[in-house]
Every structure is written in structure tokens, then in C-alpha cells.
């Protein structure tokens, strides 16, 4: 198995892409620890995929640091950190609430920073480790009336490259995943902004060259690639999985 003996933390893994990625890692032999603020749902997912669950709000610095320290204490190592937890707040410069912008930054950027900062010492001591940060296709292109989301996801790309450049010498690889349209509840703010599901589906069909949403397993496989030795000479890179949306 690709990840036999590895210890992996996946944030925001109680649903959607995070859950699919966590399941793929567990299937490949990793001991996966799910971090999510929805403890009940996290525990249900953990039971289904034979993982562990920790109820934690990643926007809580102290809680996030404590949860990571506990994983390290119990398992003695951390090999993979997938920073996936994120929120989507709609609105352009005039529409978005300042609190919405701040909340977006706290979850989409700062939490990635805090978690990475917490695992790097252990990875340096091991001489190896993988950090995967979830950005978005919105992190490399304009996203209509989504200034908070697009700004934070662009920041994740920059932060990923900085981390990769600074810590490659210690055997730590850092990459970013930029998913396109995946049919999950995460799209609710944009769906509301567009005027409902039918309007969003028409938008996806028009804008995405492959003409459809992605399925969750079409995100899980790239995640598995990026956290495993299949990508052993890849760091500081941004893998866009968007059905071709960003090339048109």
C-alpha cells in the first residue's frame, strides 16, 4: 500500500473532498486523523473508513495546536498534513461583510499556517513529511463577486510556494491542490448568488470544457498522488484539477 505506516492529519474531512481524500489515504494504509468542527459527523466518517476523529475548530489557534500535539504524542510522528478545511463567503468588495472577509482569512489561510507551523518541527526531526494545502481554481483566476474567497485562495498558493522553498532542504514537500467544480454542499454560497442549482449547473456546463462537475473520486486520486511517493520529486507546485476551466 502507498501509505503503509504513515500518520496523516486531514482537516475539514467530515464531508466532501476532505472526506474523500481521507478515505483514500486510509485505504492505502495510513493512520488517518480527521479534524473537523462537526465532531459527530467526523466520528461517523472515522468509523466508516477506520480512522480517528478529533472535534476541533481550525480557526481556534490553541485548540488546533493542542490537537496536533496530541496526535504527535500518541503516534510519535506526523507524516502527512492535508490542510483542507475552508469556508466560502460570497460578495464583491462592497457587498462582503468585513467579518466575512476576516473569517475567510482565519480558516482558509491562517489555519493552514498554524497547522503547518505545528507539524514542521516533527517533520524536520524525521527528515521527511508532506504538507498539502487545498487552494482552489479560484486561487489562480478571477472568481465573480467572491473577493474574500479568491483572495484567500490566492494567498494559499503563495504560502505553499514559500513553505516549499524554505523546508525542502529538510525533506519536507509542500504542494497545493486547486479543485474546480465539485458537487458538494460547499458550493451553497455561490449557488445562492447565481440564483439556484439550475443556474449554477448551466454555468458549469458553459464554463468548464469537460462540461460537468467533478466526482469526489476525481479529487481523491490527485490528493493521493500529492501525499504519496508518487510525487516524490514534486514540491512548491500547484495541481489544478478543474476540467479545463482555467485554460479558457
Tell me the pLDDT tens digit for each residue of 40-52. 999 999 999 999 9
Residue 186 confidence class, pLDDT cut points 50, 70, 90: confident
Classify residue 63: in a domain, yes or no. yes
Classify residue 190: in a domain, yes or no. no
Cβ partners under 8 Å of residue 189, min gap 6: 88, 89, 90
CA distances from 248 to 60, 187, 221 (A): 39, 21, 24
Classify residue 244: in a domain, yes or no. no
84 in Cβ contact with 111 (< 8 Å): no
d(CA 65, CA 139): 26
Number of domains in the chain: 1
182 in Cβ contact with 219 (< 8 Å): yes
Helices (H) and strands (E) in the chain, counts: 9, 7
Catalytic residues: 149
Cβ partners under 8 Å of residue 128, min gap 6: 79, 171, 172
Query: Could you report the per-residue pLDDT of 116-136, keeping only the tens digit for each?
Result: 999 999 999 999 999 999 999
CATH of the domain at 77: 3.40.50.720
Domain span including residue 45: 7-183+215-239
Classify residue 220: in a domain, yes or no. yes
Classify residue 233: in a domain, yes or no. yes
Q: What is the value of pTM for the model shown?
A: 0.95
Amino acid at each position: 500500500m502507498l501509505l503503509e505506516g504513515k500518520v496523516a492529519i486531514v482537516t475539514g474531512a467530515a464531508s466532501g473532498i476532505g472526506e474523500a481524500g481521507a478515505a483514500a489515504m486510509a485505504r492505502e494504509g495510513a493512520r488517518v486523523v480527521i479534524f473537523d468542527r462537526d465532531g459527530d459527523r467526523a466520528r461517523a466518517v472515522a468509523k466508516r473508513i477506520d480512522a480517528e476523529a478529533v472535534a476541533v475548530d481550525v480557526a481556534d489557534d490553541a485548540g488546533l495546536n493542542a490537537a496536533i500535539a496530541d496526535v504527535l504524542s500518541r503516534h510519535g510522528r506526523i507524516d502527512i498534513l492535508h490542510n483542507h478545511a475552508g469556508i466560502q463567503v460570497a460578495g464583491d468588495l462592497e457587498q462582503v461583510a468585513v467579518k466575512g472577509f476576516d473569517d475567510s482569512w482565519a480558516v482558509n489561510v491562517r489555519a493552514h499556517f498554524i497547522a503547518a507551523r505545528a507539524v514542521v518541527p516533527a517533520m524536520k526531526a524525521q527528515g521527511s513529511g508532506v504538507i498539502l494545502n487545498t487552494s482552489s481554481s479560484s486561487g489562480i483566476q478571477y472568481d465573480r463577486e467572491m473577493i474574500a474567497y479568491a483572495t484567500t485562495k490566492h494567498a494559499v498558493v503563495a504560502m505553499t510556494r514559500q513553505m516549499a522553498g524554505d523546508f525542502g532542504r529538510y525533506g519536507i514537500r509542500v504542494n497545493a491542490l486547486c479543485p474546480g467544480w465539485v458537487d458538494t454542499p460547499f458550493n451553497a454560497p455561490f449557488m445562492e448568488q447565481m440564483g439556484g442549482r439550475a443556474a449554477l449547473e448551466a454555468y458549469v456546463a458553459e464554463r468548464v470544457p469537460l462540461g460537468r462537475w467533478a466526482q469526489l473520486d476525481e479529487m481523491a486520486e490527485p490528493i493521493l498522488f500529492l501525499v504519496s511517493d508518487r510525487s516524490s520529486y514534486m514540491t512548491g507546485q500547484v495541481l489544478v484539477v478543474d476540467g479545463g476551466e482555467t485554460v479558457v
